[in-house]
């Protein structure tokens, strides 16, 4: 790529740009433009899935639509597919972000805004320690541990992270294990207050309609982090991994996932009011 850039620009212009910025203007433009379209596309598909899922939630819970499947296993799998994908993508993309501190603070701040808004306008079903708060917190926590995590072989890190996620998936409900597998209870002394709630041990009386504690979800986030390293290590020697998708409408949605997330519920409420007539 650099040789192509050298042949396309006068050498004096190249040298001047390099002296001033350390990178030529064309190289800077390429860096800014380069995105992984399949990641944007996957994120966009998940955003659409989330929009539909929450639209169904509104129909069932606000308009009394009878949909037994939504409250049973199919609806739960749909919900979990959205959560897992968002968190895995967030972990995968952490290493791609040139400003993780700024990004983490922005996402955490958006999570705080969602919490304040739901406490004010929907106090019976507030969102406390929701997915944005979690992703922002995880992004910030990764910064001091980056060097340590990079010393762990990617495959081993992925295996250990996924194992920890499976073993700790149920700790929010006072059990070790995954879903219906509950081999051991977690000591109740750990479940105390808001601080322990953030970690993964919610205190008595805590309720949130969207709760993502550090434990177990940080380990799924780490799975994404290690998956990126595996992809990066192997993409040059495995032709399949070098391919990317053309940037289509889902990719465009994926590039604006945060703002869509913040606005989607008010938009859904207005749409349903127009459609349902109330």
- What would the mean pLDDT of 214-227 be, rounded to a whole number? 98
Strand partners, 58: none
Angle 219-225-230 from CA coordinates, rounded to 5° = 120
CA 152 to chain centre: 22
Estimate the crossing angle of helix 214-234 against helix 73-94, to 10 degrees. 60
Q: Report the Cα 30 to chain-centroid distance in Å.
A: 26
Question: pTM (2 decimals)?
Answer: 0.86
**Cα–Cα distance for residue pair 128/205, rounded to 1 Å:** 13
Q: What is the pLDDT of residue 30?
A: 40
Domain positions in the chain = 1-34, 72-245
Confidence of residue 235 (pLDDT cuts 50, 70, 90): confident
* pLDDT band (50, 70, 90) for residue 42: very high
Angle at 102 between CA 84 and CA 28, to 5 degrees: 100
Exposed/middle/buried for 114, CB within 10 Å: 0-12, 13-18, 19+? buried
What confidence tens digit (pLDDT) does each residue in 51-106 have? 999 999 999 988 999 999 999 999 999 999 999 999 999 999 999 999 999 999 99
CA–CA separation, 80 and 84 (whole Å): 6
Q: What is the CA angle 22-24-27, rounded to 5?
A: 110
Asked whether the beta carbons of 171 and 184 are under 8 A apart, the reply is no
- Enter the tokens of residue 91: 């972990």
At 166, is the pLDDT very low, low, confident or very high (cuts 50, 70, 90)? very high
- Coil, helix or strand for 266? helix
Does residue 22 carry a pLDDT above 60? no
Tokens encoding 226: 């290690």
Q: What is the mean pLDDT of the chain?
A: 88
Mean pLDDT, residues 150-160 taken together: 97
């Amino acid at each position: 790529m650099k040789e192509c850039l050298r042949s396309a620009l006068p050498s004096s212009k190249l040298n001047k740009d390099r002296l001033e910025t350390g990178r030529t203007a064309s190289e800077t433009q390429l860096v800014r433009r380069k995105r992984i379209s399949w990641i944007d596309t996957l994120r966009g598909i998940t955003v659409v899935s989330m929009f539909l899922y929450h639209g169904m939630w509104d129909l069932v819970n606000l308009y009394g639509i009878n949909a037994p499947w939504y409250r049973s296993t199919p609806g739960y799998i749909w919900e979990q597919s959205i959560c897992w994908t968002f968190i895995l993508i967030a972990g995968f993309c952490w290493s791609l972000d040139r400003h993780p501190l700024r990004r983490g603070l922005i996402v955490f701040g958006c999570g705080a805004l969602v919490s304040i808004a739901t406490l004010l306008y929907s106090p019976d079903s507030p969102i406390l320690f929701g997915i944005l708060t979690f992703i922002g917190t995880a992004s910030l926590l990764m910064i001091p541990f980056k060097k340590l995590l990079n010393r762990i072989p990617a495959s081993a890190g992925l295996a250990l992270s996924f194992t920890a996620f499976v073993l700790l998936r149920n700790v929010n409900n006072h059990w070790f294990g995954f879903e219906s597998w509950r081999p051991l209870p977690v000591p109740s002394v750990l479940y105390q207050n808001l601080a322990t709630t953030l970690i993964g041990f919610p205190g008595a009386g805590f309720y949130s309609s969207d709760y993502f504690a550090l434990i177990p979800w940080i380990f799924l986030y780490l799975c994404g982090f290690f998956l990126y390293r595996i992809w990066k290590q192997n993409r040059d020697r495995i032709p399949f991994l070098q391919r990317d998708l053309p940037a289509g409408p889902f990719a465009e949605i994926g590039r604006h996932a945060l703002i869509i997330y913040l606005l989607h519920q008010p938009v859904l409420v207005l749409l349903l009011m127009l459609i349902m007539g109330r």
